[in-house]
Structure 1
């Protein structure tokens, strides 16, 4: 029996773009748009009233931009996953969106199928980054002023290896091959890392890896 549809909130101050995405999602089996917002503040108010699985949020909006909206959305008692869309491929926007709790980041010019797949991936708890994001985040951290590195308290040497590979952008399958581990073992290590580092999803593990300096290793 099919599961419940993925409930999506759209937040974008461009009515035409919002309508286009709404029609795209409405035509996709297993998805439904439950609310639309033109500002970040409105998006958070609607998310608090509706059961939302995924919020598709534009970075540049009036009255709370996408970064501020993401911070408030992920702080709700039942937070949705947040997929950030933007026209501008900016390092700082990428980092701030993920740091605020976003689970995915894509440019607005992605193909329709890519956007639909992104919504499904984020709803399933997976991190989703545009192809350029990992390299740009590494560059951002290497160019930024040196800051104290995050301690990985309680993380075992093997878990640190796994986290390092996640930070470098490797998929689970690639980690399995690199470390000669089974799929179950890799998933177990990732689960332990998420618990120990208080990470909501894989995107938060990526940020933890950068802050621990694993991107430099």
Structure 2
């Protein structure tokens, strides 16, 4: 009931990153139109400008283009993650599923194509800021297919991930299995299916991320399939 008031008091602080002036201008106009729910706190068009901006402002979310003057932001996405707790939402013209997979596994909380409608960009910003992962179903399916068809699993006793996997509790394994079964389901739907609150689920997910060294739900789903964590579970 207090959502509108909270948004006015605490707007989503956004750092825009794109090397095309016209794209920056368009995104600027789009997000400014959402005031007071959203606020632009900085703009950047290169690696150097990103880190200069992060020294000056504290964004909640970074809307990040991957191709910056011929340099791939994937090469320093980890450095961005270490510099700021801001969530990264990739906005790209690249349609390569492998690039999208690298972005998600590198810590991005979502991937958007630049030709999506303006309303979709605004919705994705809100969802990612709220803690969700944003990825269209077709891209998610391609990533899962790519991984399951190309992965040999991790059943050998010398698997370096074995200790991490062994540290999961039975409840955490149930959560992972539910997530693999319904990879695109909202947190509330998963929580209801597991007979727990949304808050409790988020706490469990945070613990699972820490144990397995992943960044978000999509990375956890890919990790679980690659290492057959949900094999044999309902």
TM range (shorter): 0.7 to 0.9
CA apart distance, 1:28: 0.3
Q: How many residues align?
A: 215
Q: Which of 181, 196, 202 is the equivalent residue of 1:182?
A: 196
Q: How does 1:145-156 map to 2 (within 5 A)?
A: 146=152, 148=154, 150-151=161-162, 152-156=165-169
What TM-score comes out, normalization by structure 2 length?
Answer: 0.79
1:16 aligns with 2:22: yes
Listed as ranges, the gaps of 5+ residues in structure 2 are none
Structure 1 match to 2:62? 55
The alpha-carbon deviation at position 44 of structure 1 amounts to 2.8
Match among 2, 10, 22 for residue 4 of structure 1 = 10
Pair 1:114 & 2:120 matched: yes
Deviates more, 1:86-95 or 1:15-24: 86-95
Distance change >3 Å, CA 124–CA 156, structure 1 → 2:
same
**Structure 1 stretches of 5 or more lacking a match?**
none
User: Do residues 157 (structure 1) and 170 (structure 2) align?
Assistant: yes
Matched, 1:83 2:89: yes
Cα shift at 1:198: 4.4
Root-mean-square deviation (Å): 2.5
Deviation at 1:154, TM superposition (A): 1.7
Q: 1:164 to 1:108 in 2, by over 3 A?
A: farther
- How far, CA to CA, are the matches of 1:135 and 1:190 in structure 2? 22
TM-score normalised by length of structure 1: 0.84
Q: Which residue is equivalent to 2:179?
A: 166
Deviations 1:49-96 (A, max 9, x none): 2111111111222264121242221011x3311001112221211111
Q: Deviations over 1:10-45 (max 9, x none)?
A: 111221111101110011032111111122332233
